[in-house]
Amino acid sequence: MRARAGGQTHKEVYPVTSIDLARFLGIGEKDVSCVLNHAEALAADADALSAGFYGYLQDYPETGRLLGDFGIERMRDLSHLLAENFRRMLRLKPGESRQDIQSALGSVHYRAGVMTTWVVGAYRLYVDYLHDRLAQLGLDDDDRRRLDKALIKYVFYDMILQLEGYEQARLSDLGEGDAVARAVLEATLTLDKASAPEDVLTSICDRVVSASGHLRAAWFCLGGHEPSTLTPAYHAGDRVAVPDQLSLNQDDPIACALREQRPLVFDPTVATSPDWSRRHPEVRTIGIFPFGLRNTALTGCFVVHADMPRYFNNTGLTIFEALATLAQLLMELRDQVQRDALTGLANREAFSTHLSVAVERAARDGRLVCVGILDLDDFKPINDRYGHAAGDDLLRMLAERLRQSLRGCDMVARLSGDEFALILESIVTLGEAERVFERIEKALGQPFVLPDGTQHTLNASLGVTIYPFDESPPMDSFDMRIKPCTRLRMPRQGARVSGVIGRLPRMLARRRRPGHCRHIR
């Protein structure tokens, strides 16, 4: 017995092949010589035996469903491998070992999900086949009994080796699962040093790929609700396996996993798999593990590429589902920290983080980012006249109108008491931004009904800047630089926003100093 950490113990496990298996089963030189003398005749219908072996397994729903995933060509190769192994078994010479060959076949059966009881049951076909062949050899009773006893030993020898290969593969997967689990645990122990949830997710990708013997790549991405495009935020492992950007249709595995919020595993080698999944020639299975923030449009997923078929079936989905759960908890925790308690909008910290990412994305995709600061010009009198509770109700109503005026990829945040910020992403033409501001103008032009039934129309000012038309990225002291850029006055009677965005490039070009302000009425 050997002690483990924590005082637990475990029993040493010795592989069968650490002993002389032939001697253990009583296979002597006379047995070998007897079988060799009739090996060619006994192996004459090895292909039929192999076909019958897998036909027997496929006749049962459980095994038939598993082997059906192999496909016709792969099943043909597997049948050929079994037939060749049977021939080698009969041609075994003194001192030869079939450990590697037959253990490999056991490993294949394990990877396919075929249970050991099914394999052992199928071996009765070996016995039936050999008895039929014996009857055709025309041997006398003594020679037949001698050969029959030798063949029974050979069948046991072959079966034990295959079961050992099966067990070695199972233990390997247990070790793989333990290694990945330890990697995840180590990553969670660094939570106190992480400045953002993405840091933890990045560390997890690095650690699981380094710890695994079969994971070729791991990456994660974040996006909105049912996004049409996704860009990996970080990847670890073979770069060739990871797409630069994904254009998703509704049938894409990632789109399905995000929509249904459940793990999805698929074979990238089948013809119907998406192009992005077939980038690495050695990847045999891909797992997608989605996560999403409740009551928000933010979703994301881990994507893991393995070079082994049925990797997640054999290693287990639990640890990877735990990764997605951890990611969701981290994102929810950050959401609580970066959420304005009164309005439910993003706060200043979240706005700054999102703005930095938006500018990087715009620079990469060749699109525009429009950033605006909205000030309420007459909010204090409302608090003074109706009380802070009424003012809070009005701010919540305003926040909801702003949220509904934006597109799915846009963001609105509350920076301070009566100051709000907007980020319009993926802008191709200035007309797109103009239409958003028209909706905001229309939303603010509608009266707000206070708790006592009083109707109040807000007066607001909007400062706007557009990257990259401005001289430098807007995340640099954004709230000090946007307001001097351009201001839009929206009085109670309503001012037209139409045309404001179309004039922004000329205004920006004419801006002479940081303190310059262009008023539009």
Pairing of strands 419-427, 246-247: unpaired
pLDDT over 60 (residue 509): no
Residue whose pair of structure tokens reads 């009266």 in the numeric block: 447
Which position has the higher pLDDT, 37 or 5?
A: 37
* Distance between CA atoms of residues 289 and 410, nearest Å: 25
Query: How many other C-beta atoms lie within 10 A of the C-beta of residue 394?
Result: 22
Q: What is the mean pLDDT of residues 89-103?
A: 68
In the sheet that 234-237 helps form, which strands lie side by side, from edge to edge?
234-237, 215-223, 299-306, 285-292, 264-266
pLDDT over 80 (residue 108): no
pLDDT tens-digit readout, 366-383: 888 889 888 888 788 888
Domains and CATH numbers, the chain: 14-179 (1.10.490.10), 194-337 (3.30.450.40), 348-520 (3.30.70.270)
pLDDT tens-digit readout, 119-171: 777 788 888 888 888 888 888 889 989 999 999 888 888 888 888 888 888 88
Output the pLDDT for position 5: 35
pLDDT over 70 (residue 295): no
Of 14-23, 400-409, 412-421, where does mean pLDDT reach its minimum? 14-23
Instruction: Supply angle C-alpha 375, 380, 385, rounded to 5.
Output: 145
Torsion angle, CA of 75/79/85/91, rounded to 10 degrees? -160
Query: Do residues 462 and 424 make contact, with C-beta atoms less than 8 angstroms apart?
Result: no
How big is the chain, counted in residues? Answer: 521
> Would you state the structure tokens that stand for residue 480, as one six-digit string?
């000090």
Per-residue DSSP letter, 361? H
Cα 489 to its chain centre, rounded Å, is 47
* Distance between CA atoms of residues 328 and 462, nearest Å: 35
How confident is residue 492, by pLDDT bands cut at 50, 70 and 90?
Answer: very low
Rounded CA Rg of the chain: 34
